[in-house]
Amino acid sequence: MSVKSAPQTHTANADLAGEVDRLLAELGVKRSDYTEGTIVVRTPITGGIIGRVAEIGAAEAAGAIEQAHAAYLGWRLVPPPKRGELVRLFGEELRASKEALGRLVSIEVGKIVSEGLGEVQEMIDICDFAVGLSRQLYGLTIATERGEHRMMESWHPLGVTGIISAFNFPVAVWAWNAALALVCGNSLVWKPSEKTPLTALATHALFGRAVKRFNEAGGDAPQGLAAVLFGGREIGELLVDHAKVPLVSATGSTAMGRAVGPRLASRFARALLELGGNNAAIVAPTADLDLTLRGVAFAAMGTAGQRCTTLRRLFVHESIYDSFVPRLKQAYASVTVGSPLQGGNLVGPLIDGAAYRAMQIALEAASAAGGQVQGGERIAIEGAADAYYVRPALVEIATQTGPVKHETFAPILYVMKYRDFDAVLELHNAVPQGLSSSIFTNDLREAETFLSARGSDCGIANVNIGPSGAEIGGAFGGEKETGGGRESGSDAWKTYMRRTTNTVNYGRTLPLAQGVKFDVV
């Protein structure tokens, strides 16, 4: 670092720290909550320190879980539409604070401004969804073979919902779980990523405002309905192992899921796992290449490649490869990389140095496997000597081998040529992960085949849009090493509830099912 750049870096860090201070005050967070503690918070924009958060001890964390369980015992008795009213008020708080919270997301994660705001919009959208859901927790009436009997199913609250979230969507993923869990009658205990505690503090403060308004209007939200636990792996393990947490929703790596899943299974708790994604797209001969270029560019480079739905593998038909790939390479060479807070920049920084090193290791392995690498180099940004900005990397490679089959949480796109549609479907599915996928085609048969049982084996399959960027109306999640969990819309609410089957005899006889006779004198 040159003598000239040192004071510029110091000034940039100070400016961001000051802005964080103002934002957190506006969002209702006490200054001591983010200035006193052992967890050091750095912004990836400069690499500078923007806060310090206190790590919770094991005894205190266990106490918070016990309090959440006690809160659940009361909250489960509140009628669902009234629970929905609390979530509606929370949505109002989010709307009022969208600009401040979205800005804080951008600073703490390194997302461009529109993506930071978009994350808060996801929170608002899931609140709207959950409010409607609070009047639609339907069970079925089931045909019964016995006369003068009625059979039905009922859905009841489950208990404490544990939420373990990752850095890349520090508040939206919590909201996906929290909004549904709350209207279903559950309480919440949240362990956010150690890399993004400030947005968690802000979200918790906004939820506290909603609870205060709810209770002032005559509601009955119990103390301890939602808790946040700041800490490392040991706090996550405590949450996973606690007998009074019947469901843990965990977002992170496949390695994390392999650790969490068996521990939950050992005590017969539920696991909602959102794990790795090695997402692919197929560009067919009939694809609209202008549309495809835009779709591929965002899916592969957006959020600096740090989405679980980021496009990482691209199969391009040989008949259009030489016309499409040069255009894509030009987009990679010209995309603007820099501070996400400055208008015009489309790619911000990686979260930290570890992410940069993992990217370089993958690119070295790809090169060793015969791949032709464009981009991937670190970019020097004035005032950000301790940050990790990189040029997104495009790797042309002949076969799907080595690092291509592994998820690297960075902007690397592996591009491969294909000839046969059936063969490329096999290649598409020949990775351990199964989160999101897409095909760009105007051939109806190809599109429908891709969505059919013999097509994509992922939880999300799209046509003429990229794999990245989901709406809350559809259940989000994937298969295979992605974990099988589903969050957000559709019928994902059932994960947060327990089902009972009820049979009511309103007659004067006692017929048994299946014609069984058991007459006693």
- Please identify every residue annotated as catalytic: 274
Structure tokens at 450: 């891709």
Q: Which residues of 408-437 are buried (b: 16+ CB within 10 A; e: fewer)?
A: bbbbbbbbbbbeebeebbebbbebebbbbb
Query: At 388, is the secondary structure helix, strand, or coil?
Result: coil
How far apart CA 312 and CA 305 sit, in angstroms, is 8
Q: In this structure, what token pair is assigned to residue 335?
A: 């995309």
Distance CA 502, CA 151 (A): 6
What sign results for the dihedral spanned by CA atoms 328, 334, 339, 341?
negative
Q: Is 326 exposed, middle or buried (0-12, 13-18, 19+ CB in 10 A)?
A: exposed
**61 CB contacts (<8 Å, ≥6 apart)?**
229, 231, 235, 238, 239
Closest CA to 238 of 419, 26, 66, 27: 66
Q: Find out whether 206 and 94 touch, Cβ atoms under 8 Å.
A: yes
Chain length of the chain: 521
Asked if 296 contacts 314 with a C-beta cutoff of 8 angstroms, the reply is yes
Q: Quick check: 433 and 443 in contact, CB under 8 A?
A: no
> Tokens 């809350």 map to which residue?
472
Q: Give the Cα separation of 110 and 23 in Å (integer).
A: 16
**Ramachandran quadrant class, 171 (left: phi over 0; alpha: psi -120 to 50; beta: rest):** alpha
Query: Is there a contact between 279 and 448 (Cβ–Cβ < 8 Å)?
Result: no
**110 in Cβ contact with 125 (< 8 Å):** no
Q: Give the separation between CA 101 and CA 23, rounded to whole angstroms.
A: 8
Residue 244: both structure tokens together = 């009074």
